[in-house]
Amino acid sequence: MKGKHAMSKIKILQIMPAVDWWGSYKMEDGLLSFDPLVCWALVQETDISVRQVEGIYTAVIGMINSDGAIENIENTTNFEDYYTTADKDEYEKENAKAITAAKKR
């Protein structure tokens, strides 16, 4: 596993739709790429990174479709942040020339 939850055991307590939400990834060229979220998951995490002290935490994480499986986006390579559709569209508008040039490569 990768990402900030790599040393955690995660138990999903509840899922909710993630309508109009996207996860972003920072690409090698510095631009962002986006995947739509499938749902939000309320999770209970057991931190196993420190063996002497074990803590239990709750968190809400975005989930994506990855080759037919639902996965925690925060464990994917280069995960950057969460965006609403409006924020994603604004980012793409502001960076349209760079995005078009990157797609031509």
Q: Which secondary-structure segment (H or E) carries 98?
A: helix 96-104
pLDDT tens, position by position, 7-52: 567 889 999 999 999 999 999 888 999 999 999 999 988 766 555 4
Q: What is the mean pLDDT of residues 71-91?
A: 94
Q: Which secondary-structure segment (H or E) carries 91?
A: helix 85-94
Q: Specify the pTM.
A: 0.75
Q: Which of 92, 97, 71 shows the shortest CA–CA distance to 15?
A: 71
